[in-house]
């Protein structure tokens, strides 16, 4: 069975410093991986996705993530944090079930705080 582990439930950075949100996954075959962001009292926005093309994936708002099969990781990074990056971040793996429907397996989330 596939699973996702977000290694930090809460990360706090200063504005202008790098952001690293860590995600490990387990999968029996080549997974599709996503990062979604949720700002307070908002819906979920797709940041970026990996679907077996380039291992370094660039997303919106300056975020990127690197798929490392040997480490089963998909960490999210940004060179310089902005106050508007404060939000909840979810790492997600896509699983195909017996009915050929895709089901998303969610990590528990990482809350990112950005200090001025």
Strands (E), the chain: 3-6, 10-14, 19-21, 23-26, 32-38, 44-50, 56-58, 64-68, 73-78, 87-96, 102-106, 110-115
The SS3 of residue 60 is: helix
18 versus 53: smaller Cβ distance to other proteins:
53
* Phi then psi dihedrals of residue 2, to 5 deg: -85, 150
Place of tokens 């490990």: 24
Closest CB to other proteins among residues 56, 102: 102
Residue number with CB closer to other proteins (80 or 108): 108
Return the residue of 30, 108, 113, 115 that touches other proteins, per CB under 8 A.
Answer: 108
Is residue 17 within the footprint of other proteins (CB under 8 A)? no
> Binder to other proteins among 14, 18, 46, 83 (CB under 8 A)?
46
In the complex, the smallest distance separating the C-beta of residue 80 from other proteins, rounded to whole angstroms, is 26
The footprint of other proteins on this chain (CB under 8 A) covers a number of residues equal to 26
Task: Say if CB 89 and CB 21 are below 8 A apart.
Answer: yes
- Residues in touch with other proteins (CB under 8 A): 32, 34, 36, 41-46, 49, 51, 88, 90, 94, 96, 99-104, 106-109, 111
């Amino acid at each position: 069975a596939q699973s996702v582990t977000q290694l930090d439930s809460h990360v706090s950075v200063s504005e202008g410093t790098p952001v690293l949100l860590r995600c490990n996954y387990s999968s029996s075959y080549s997974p599709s991986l996503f990062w979604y962001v949720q700002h307070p009292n908002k819906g979920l926005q797709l940041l970026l996705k990996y679907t077996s093309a380039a291992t370094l994936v660039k997303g919106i708002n300056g975020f990127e993530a690197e798929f490392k099969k040997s480490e089963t990781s998909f960490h999210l990074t940004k060179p310089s944090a902005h106050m508007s990056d404060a939000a909840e971040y979810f790492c997600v793996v896509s699983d195909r079930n017996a009915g050929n429907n895709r089901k998303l397996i969610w990590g528990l989330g990482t809350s990112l705080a950005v200090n001025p």
